[in-house]
Structure 1
């Protein structure tokens, strides 16, 4: 039994509840993009309910020179991978141009490795001119989601809907500016962590991601990326 509106049994439960709130988008034939790994079980339920194609969207941070933990930008997967830079961080660290290019290539190689593992070689589904629903299992600070949204905009998605089960209000306000619409089921206060909003929040395994993506190939027109 759920303790309150901000609590979910597990990721599939959160996905099914999100799907109910997203059914009004079924007629626009959206593309569902999941942030791996935790976003995949949530997005799978949405893709199943809307009979929509499902893909993963990889985001890899670019760390500052000598301070790898400090993100100055990100590389975002896609048919046309996008580099998203944090202007404020770039002004602080002023990294050489060749540093950014080298890091971009390194992160793109890691994205390719992970896509080969998860999507088994299938190319990213194109987003240009499409309505996209970006899904994660929750938002904490919002940095990864923000980079993904900016990249989707640069990649000319026609409409971007961000869908998450739970997030703090301040993070939603930050990322919401880069989405056409935001669907979030719960914004608990105080917000301590995404995991506390779930009864079961174990790590999503690579095997689970691969299995769900294989099963999702029967939804919508997912085969177009083959």
Structure 2
């Protein structure tokens, strides 16, 4: 039985449990990769800075799977002297292993931080966050490293950990787990969506946190980051709205079957679009009660109607009334996006489909006027064929981009990054006032 929809929901619940730390001198440290989406939500809840804490195991030279210690940044190192002695590891051996692992550690830190300085932990409370712990060995080392980097207090916080692990992390001043099952399964067992977190997602979560910290400085004009509710069809649908300063365009996300506004893949794409100065609205087109009925998930007219209602809601807000609107649809959400874009008078300036089912818009495809980009994985052969069939029915400018080697969810390394970059380019081209002034849309 799942306890968490995904890492985002787990992070939000963990943030609520740690609410007493809000306003304290706290730094939230995510363990890459999977711990960072959880940590990002905790940092938001605590209004605290976000960083990563990267550790590398030091393996015995002739038996690398056996750990003799670990290292962290800033020269931090912890050793298991018993293993070093029993394995008869010399100082030269130790230096060789550490040099190799430190080079890999610095490479990962450079990739994640993109030139940003690490957060200073001196005298502060370090909240170390992962998506769960099984043995706790990595978390123990991370706690030691945070202490060596100057943290006055170290808290280890995770959504799930086995009951026996709660008392086996003496390196932390406090250990918090939302659930601690006695009969523990693998960490992923407690998540409905436990898809891998990519390096690209880690980078953009850190970028978003850095932008939020910059915006919150005295004298800065804040944009909008808020949970919203839209009344439609006698129910209320939920969304996450992000608007930059001087917003000129908003991309509305229509999620696919079995997904939600918490989808880590769409949230990653949204963070890339936000980095380009675009507003985003991640929207649940169905209520939790409606999602139980699987027929609703494939009711394209219903989903499209909700999407159109959200667009009218944006048009009625003072801060978004003048914004151009684009749709980003995934799976069945792409069919809904194109159906809504085909409505008479629809003010939709661009559409992007990720692994989408544009064929579900059927005869409405010919009425779409918005420039449309179809992104499909090269290994997703059935969906690729359906996208090609849909293209034949469309009269709008349309381009099909095939991501080599990608499957339906774009879980292969680097493929989701390609999706995000292509979507950013498409929306930037067609949603900005400068692009609109150039005249007719261009298709690459």
Q: 2:159 aligns with which of 148, 153, 165?
A: 165
| Unmatched tracts of structure 1, length 5 or more | none
Deviation at 1:173, TM superposition (A): 1.3
Task: Tell me, yes or no, if the aligned pair for 1:51 and 1:219 is still in contact at 8 Å.
Answer: no
Question: What are the within-5 Å matches in structure 2 for residues 177-188 of structure 1?
Answer: 177-188=170-181
Match of 1:212 in 2: 205
CA distance in 2, matches of 1:37, 1:222: 26
Deviation at 1:189, TM superposition (A): 2.0
Find out whether 1:137 has 2:131 as its counterpart.
Answer: yes
Find out whether 1:110 has 2:122 as its counterpart.
Answer: no
Deviates more, 1:9-18 or 1:100-109: 100-109
Helix, strand or coil at the partner of 2:66: strand
Deviation at 1:193, TM superposition (A): 0.8
Task: Tell me, yes or no, if the aligned pair for 1:129 and 1:158 is still in contact at 8 Å.
Answer: yes
Scaled by the length of structure 1, the TM-score of the pair is 0.90
Pair member with larger Rg:
2
Task: Tell me, yes or no, if the aligned pair for 2:131 and 2:159 is still in contact at 8 Å.
Answer: yes
Match of 2:64 in 1: 68
1:105-160 deviations in Å (ceiling 9; x for gaps): 22111111111211112232121211110000000111111111112222231111
Q: 1:145 to 1:221 in 2, by over 3 A?
A: farther
Equivalenced residue count is 216
CA distance in 1, matches of 2:75, 2:156: 19
Task: Tell me, yes or no, if the aligned pair for 2:23 and 2:47 is still in contact at 8 Å.
Answer: no
1:81-117 deviations in Å (ceiling 9; x for gaps): 3111123322321210111122222211111111121
Deviation at 1:27, TM superposition (A): 2.0
Scaled by the length of structure 2, the TM-score of the pair is 0.47
Q: 1:204 to 1:97 in 2, by over 3 A?
A: same
Helix, strand or coil at the partner of 1:218: helix
Match of 1:193 in 2: 186
Deviates more, 1:88-97 or 1:19-28: 88-97
Task: Tell me, yes or no, if the aligned pair for 1:83 and 1:104 is still in contact at 8 Å.
Answer: no
Helix, strand or coil at the partner of 2:211: coil
CA distance in 2, matches of 1:97, 1:83: 14
Q: 1:62 to 1:127 in 2, by over 3 A?
A: same
Q: 2:144 aligns with which of 147, 150, 171?
A: 150
| Unmatched tracts of structure 2, length 5 or more | 217-444
CA distance in 2, matches of 1:84, 1:221: 34
Q: 1:121 to 1:55 in 2, by over 3 A?
A: same
CA distance in 2, matches of 1:156, 1:208: 28
Match of 1:46 in 2: 42
CA distance in 1, matches of 2:21, 2:54: 24
Task: Tell me, yes or no, if the aligned pair for 1:31 and 1:54 is still in contact at 8 Å.
Answer: yes
Task: Tell me, yes or no, if the aligned pair for 2:164 and 2:182 is still in contact at 8 Å.
Answer: no
Task: Tell me, yes or no, if the aligned pair for 1:52 and 1:219 is still in contact at 8 Å.
Answer: no
CA distance in 1, matches of 2:211, 2:130: 21
Deviates more, 1:166-175 or 1:85-94: 85-94
